Structure 1
Amino acid sequence: MQNLDSTVVATALPSMARDLGEDPLTMGVAITSYLVALTVFIPLSGWMADRFGAKQVFMAAIATFTVASALCGMSQGLLEMVGARVLQGLGGAMMVPVGRLLLLRRVKKDELLTATTWLSMPALLGPVMGPPVGGFLTDLVSWRAVFWINLPVGVVGLLLVWRLIPTLPKSLPPPPDVPGLALVGTALACLMFTFETLGRGLVPRFVPEAVLVVGLVLGTLAVRHCLRVPNPAIDFSLLRTPSFSVTVTAGTVFRVGAGMVPFLVPLALQIGFGNSASQSGMISFATALGAFVMKPMAQFALRLAGFRNVLMWNAVAAAFSVALCAAFRPGWPVAALFATLLFGGLCRSLYFTTTNTLVYAEVPHAKLSAATSFSSTVQQLSMALGVAVAAAVLQASVTLGGRGGPAPVDFSAGFLIGAALMLLAAPLALRLPPEAGEGIVTGRRRG
């Protein structure tokens, strides 16, 4: 449900902008507000699951996400949409990491890769169906329908969780780190506000710069605070674990670049090339199809090459696929566009599967809640930054070119910046030892 929601919103964005009387680039806040809310509330998810029970929190999160989806579909203006998306982000913040926690607490280390693959396969149905479903719903019904489709999914999901998932015992964790949560959340919100408004004329001059300074100061204070208290909002001691540290740092850089692609592709196809929402959705479908096809092959690739090699060389291949998107022009055959996006989906899916598996490989069982909160927070922040950076690059390119709106060359600039960020993740993988992940993938050939 969450992945479906993310992809259909990107496809419906130009239609939403026209209906609500907003600029399509400004409407990017409908995506980033959701991602920022996810980022802000995720650090609390591990404590909530321990204190109130993972199953109970999971069900409450699904209910919140479903109600917020209905509110999104009824929004009459940008502010209403942002408020509903923030509520949706609260539900998603508890839904995704707690759902992952329910799985991690019940599998052995040698089953981790298989379990992660199985967990990811159903979630990929959302992105596979999202672009075409979002496009057809937008053209045939309304952009509001892309939110309403979450209602039956949420109801069925609640019934299935209630019936099939066992209740895990609750615990009495220490009180949450309220000062740390406040510092982390406010710092992240300030940084995202800056990315959304800098150089775009949405607020008075110097306000974005002032908010950026406040965000950096609060972020510094948050890190210092979390390093000093016994039960911090973000447990930075996890970075002493090599596999966790490398996958978080390399994965963050990679995800910022990768997060630009789902925002840029639908806009390029609709605004830059003049395609309809349904045509754009059918072409964008290639990315999710590539991701879906790659999942069963991930184990073979990791056994053959090992985690370090896969992370390094796959980052190079994924960056190349995004750089190739910079050459997209209206005259390109649809088959060529589809093939390029399909290859990119394959590469990014393999990278995400690898990092999502390795990041928990050496984490002690007692710190799984903290690790899922930390990792999920960083993942969502990087994806939110990807959307914000993509919108900022587009706006800067349009302004420098003196154009009234985005042209194909502006989208090319966005794709090239995204490719460069993804390429930076390749050398970071070299910090992993060659044998990293051997306890997860057994029987791989040693190089």
Structure 2
Amino acid sequence: MQAPFSLDPHTARVLPWLVAIAFFMQTLDGTILNTALPAMAMDLQEDPLRMQGVVIAYMLTVALLIPASGWLADRFGARRTFFAAIALFTLGSLFCALSQTLGQLISSRIVQGLGGALMLPVGRLVILRVFPRSEFVKVMAFIALPGLVGPLVGPTLGGWLVEYASWHWIFLINLPVGVLGCVFAWRYMPALRDTQRTPFDSFGFILFGLAMILITLALEGLGEMHMPHARVLLLLFAGAACLCAYWLRAARIDNPLFSPALFHCRSFAVGILGNLFARLGGGALPFLLPLLLQIALDYSPAQAGMAMVPLALGAMSVKPLAQPVLQRFGYRRVLVSNTLLLGTLVIGLGLSSGVVPLAVLLVLLWVLGMVNSLQFTAMNTITLIGLSNEQASAGNGLLSVVIQLSMSLGVAAASALLNGFNDPGAGGDSLRAFQLTFVCVGGMTMLAAALFMQLDEQAGRMAKV
């Protein structure tokens, strides 16, 4: 890899904004669509139950391409790859808005997914390589914020656009942001590039990509798609078999897609596994909270959307505190205590629903937003901060894969629990079903604290500045 890249002060200020906005576009798109699917189905004269393919096409494209993001950035350069990612996402958004049939819409979503799969991994890789480790926590906290805000405002904005404009605007709003993103990417994104041509692990990419597709389909099938359990099990076993085959092969070849040697870095190993399990609570919140407020507590869609604002405000308010807190107490203490606190707050939110006054509920959501934001920042940072520049590309790509999986896992687990507890034959008490679901999701989140206890006391503090 080339020598460390030197940023001028103006670029150093603009670059985090560029990556953060790209992240926001991606996470917003992942949630804004759901509330518009019935209106889209009516306009395209399709069965609403068939519209799930619009979501799945994007999701599977992202899951397939993320593993190749690091190699593409090294091979063609970070600037070109990031520019192409925003351009593809924007072009795909235009195609989606112009689609006249379901087939055209699904094809357009695939184009959009090609760009969405590369935007965040490549942007985060550049941040990891160009900023000193002393500033890494602060920059990552800033970039992680849109990932929390996007899923919260997405459903509300989608419903508003469908009600007062048309579903086409869900995609059209990406166009001006995408054009500006392309301009700023070409101007400010550093032209990082690997000077050594590393061969691409094509067969490993096929094995790993197939594993991600099968596992993601299984998780979505368990949750939103409501597949039969037998089919879900078959998909899970097939995906696990492909994943095992990949890792066995990766251990005996010279240039695998993701080297097992990455896990020799203890902070990376703990961070990856902790991300997978601790995100159950955070990943389930954007799915569970709007349903709880509207179905169990009889909030209108507008009221439910406004109730989510404190969660986003809490996430924003903790951003300046992330770096001082981590430097003062260390990653191990912060992650263990914050994971336990996050799980406790999720449980408390479920049990207090329908009992506490609205003002208390809003304060609870604000605190939950703070804790959730600190959790994501600390987890992402400890996963990457100990890697060398040579390992950064593969490690960042694997983290992106895990984040994608954990989001699906959180929604699938929450959906399965909610459906299991909401038994119509037993009276169908929806509030109790939500309360039990929040208790279970919060409890599973708390279990991840045992993983973070495996960090060294000095983890993250020993990185070279």
TM-score interval for Structure 1 and Structure 2 normalised by the shorter chain: 0.7 to 0.9
CA distance in 1, matches of 2:369, 2:225: 35
Structure 2: gaps (5+ residues): 1-21
CA distance in 2, matches of 1:332, 1:32: 38
Shift of residue 356 of structure 1? 1.8
CA distance in 2, matches of 1:375, 1:389: 20
1:410 aligns with 2:433: yes
1:302 paired residue number? 326
Identity %: 35
What amino acid is the match of 1:318? L
1:173 paired residue number? 197
2:186 paired residue number? 162
Kept in 1: contact 2:90–2:174 (CA 8 A) = yes
2:24 paired residue number? 3
Shift of residue 426 of structure 1? 0.9
What amino acid is the match of 2:117? A
Q: Secondary structure at the match of 1:166?
A: coil
Among 342, 347, 350, the residue aligned to 1:323: 347
2:80 paired residue number? 56
* TM-score normalised according to structure 2 size: 0.84
Shift of residue 104 of structure 1? 1.8
2:274 paired residue number? 250
Q: Secondary structure at the match of 1:136?
A: helix
Task: From the superposition, tell whether residues 72 and 338 of structure 1 become closer, same or farther in structure 2 (CA, over 3 Å).
Answer: farther
Among 376, 398, 405, the residue aligned to 1:374: 398
After superposing the two structures, state which structure 1 stretch, 135-144 or 160-169, moved more: 135-144
For 1:50-96, what per-residue CA distance to the aligned partner results, in whole angstroms no more than 9, with x for missing partners?
11111000011001112223344456787766554444332122111
Among 436, 441, 446, the residue aligned to 1:423: 446
Shift of residue 339 of structure 1? 1.9
1:90 aligns with 2:104: no
What amino acid is the match of 1:397? F
CA distance in 1, matches of 2:291, 2:100: 22
Shift of residue 344 of structure 1? 1.3
Q: Secondary structure at the match of 2:448?
A: helix
For 1:182-226, what per-residue CA distance to the aligned partner results, in whole angstroms no more than 9, with x for missing partners?
111111211222233349896677333333322222222122122
Matches within 5 A, 1:386-405: 386-398=410-422, 400-402=423-425
Among 297, 305, 313, the residue aligned to 2:337: 313
1:20 paired residue number? 41
After superposing the two structures, state which structure 1 stretch, 152-161 or 188-197, moved more: 188-197
Q: Secondary structure at the match of 2:369?
A: helix
CA distance in 1, matches of 2:446, 2:138: 28
What amino acid is the match of 1:206? A
2:249 paired residue number? 225
After superposing the two structures, state which structure 1 stretch, 339-348 or 310-319, moved more: 339-348
Among 293, 303, 307, the residue aligned to 1:283: 307
CA distance in 1, matches of 2:100, 2:349: 34
CA distance in 2, matches of 1:202, 1:295: 37
Task: From the superposition, tell whether residues 20 and 312 of structure 1 become closer, same or farther in structure 2 (CA, over 3 Å).
Answer: same
Q: Secondary structure at the match of 1:228?
A: coil
Q: Secondary structure at the match of 1:431?
A: coil
Task: From the superposition, tell whether residues 313 and 66 of structure 1 become closer, same or farther in structure 2 (CA, over 3 Å).
Answer: same
What amino acid is the match of 1:411? F
After superposing the two structures, state which structure 1 stretch, 329-338 or 375-384, moved more: 329-338
2:461 paired residue number? 438
Task: From the superposition, tell whether residues 121 and 411 of structure 1 become closer, same or farther in structure 2 (CA, over 3 Å).
Answer: closer
What amino acid is the match of 1:145? W
Shift of residue 408 of structure 1? 2.8
Task: From the superposition, tell whether residues 384 and 207 of structure 1 become closer, same or farther in structure 2 (CA, over 3 Å).
Answer: closer
CA distance in 1, matches of 2:460, 2:421: 42
What amino acid is the match of 1:289? L
Q: Secondary structure at the match of 1:230?
A: coil
Kept in 2: contact 1:5–1:130 (CA 8 A) = no
What amino acid is the match of 2:437? G
Task: From the superposition, tell whether residues 170 and 431 of structure 1 become closer, same or farther in structure 2 (CA, over 3 Å).
Answer: closer
Task: From the superposition, tell whether residues 31 and 330 of structure 1 become closer, same or farther in structure 2 (CA, over 3 Å).
Answer: farther
Shift of residue 11 of structure 1? 5.9
Kept in 2: contact 1:69–1:151 (CA 8 A) = yes
After superposing the two structures, state which structure 1 stretch, 64-73 or 345-354, moved more: 64-73
CA distance in 2, matches of 1:59, 1:214: 35
Q: Secondary structure at the match of 1:279?
A: helix
Structure 1: gaps (5+ residues): 443-447
CA distance in 2, matches of 1:440, 1:31: 40
Task: From the superposition, tell whether residues 405 and 230 of structure 1 become closer, same or farther in structure 2 (CA, over 3 Å).
Answer: farther
After superposing the two structures, state which structure 1 stretch, 27-36 or 112-121, moved more: 27-36
1:445 paired residue number? none
* TM-score normalised according to structure 1 size: 0.87
Task: From the superposition, tell whether residues 44 and 280 of structure 1 become closer, same or farther in structure 2 (CA, over 3 Å).
Answer: same
2:172 paired residue number? 148
Kept in 1: contact 2:68–2:397 (CA 8 A) = yes
Task: From the superposition, tell whether residues 89 and 388 of structure 1 become closer, same or farther in structure 2 (CA, over 3 Å).
Answer: farther
Task: From the superposition, tell whether residues 244 and 407 of structure 1 become closer, same or farther in structure 2 (CA, over 3 Å).
Answer: same
Kept in 2: contact 1:62–1:95 (CA 8 A) = yes
CA distance in 2, matches of 1:256, 1:38: 20
After superposing the two structures, state which structure 1 stretch, 76-85 or 210-219, moved more: 76-85
Q: Secondary structure at the match of 2:416?
A: helix
2:134 paired residue number? 110
What amino acid is the match of 1:46? G
What amino acid is the match of 2:321? M
Task: From the superposition, tell whether residues 361 and 373 of structure 1 become closer, same or farther in structure 2 (CA, over 3 Å).
Answer: same
After superposing the two structures, state which structure 1 stretch, 130-139 or 86-95, moved more: 130-139
